[in-house]
Amino acid sequence: MSAAEPTLQLDVPKERQPRHVAIIMDGNGRWAQRQDLPRIRGHQQGAKTVRRITEECSRLGIEQVTLYCLSSENWKRPAEELEFLMFLLSEYLVEERDTMMKNNIRLQIIGQRDRIPDEVQAEMDRSIELTSKNTGCCLCLAINYGGRAEIVDAVRKISSQVAEGKLSVDDVNEQLVSDSLYTAGMSDPDLLIRTAGEMRISNYLLWQISYAEMWVTERMWPEFSIKDFHDAIRNFSNRDRRFGGLNTPQPQD
């Protein structure tokens, strides 16, 4: 926790907090441009926010936080920016290992590995292995990730099993689809946070966020604070989550 941002009390009962928070970290480039800085400075500052929010998730006992780091559509950006993002990712994986171990954080990464440089993949694997026995918050990074591609890959996997006779068509259900996604074994997000004010999902966790509560802020990701994060959780704690049903008042004695 930085000296400029003291520990804040959340004052939300544990049972009213989300177990799994997914975040679309938007606005790095715009934050930099508003301050007449190169776009890469926004990504550097955004990496600091990742550390701040991840540590807070660990402190609060949140089971998982999944961060949208690089979408499959982001490869349309300038080559220089993409090269820097790969460098920043590799640097983050190395520099944050001590933080992950100190906070008992377990790292997972989802997405397609093609187009990710071999040296970056090697650092990904080292960090995953190093933290594999940690039992605290799971930090899941979505890298070269797209929700539609994930579902297509799941359909291909299931279709192959049916074609090989390992499954029948009648075996295909929601649980099987969930188990065939990149996020197999993970709980679905309870809360989806998006920064920078955009009101769209951007091809993120399309299957998994079916019943997630959404919270959008105008704050850019590099300036997203612990207070902002707490505001999102407080807002979530006051939502009436019915999952398609009705909350029936309990009879009074």
Q: Which residues are catalytic?
A: 26, 74
Give the relative orientation of helices 118-130 and 79-95 as an angle to the nearest 10 degrees. 30
Distance between the two ends of the chain, CA-based, in angstroms? Answer: 48
DSSP class of 142: E
Partners of 138 in beta bridges: 64, 106
**Nearest by Cα to 131 from 109, 98, 110, 107:** 107
Q: Which tokens sit at 95?
A: 């520099």
CB 119 within 8 A of CB 78: no
CB 131 within 8 A of CB 123: no
DSSP class of 83: H
**Nearest by Cα to 57 from 65, 69, 46:** 65
> Where does the chain show beta strands of DSSP type E?
20-24, 64-71, 106-110, 138-145, 191-194, 213-216
Partners of 109 in beta bridges: 141
DSSP class of 113: -
CB 177 within 8 A of CB 158: yes
CB 68 within 8 A of CB 79: no
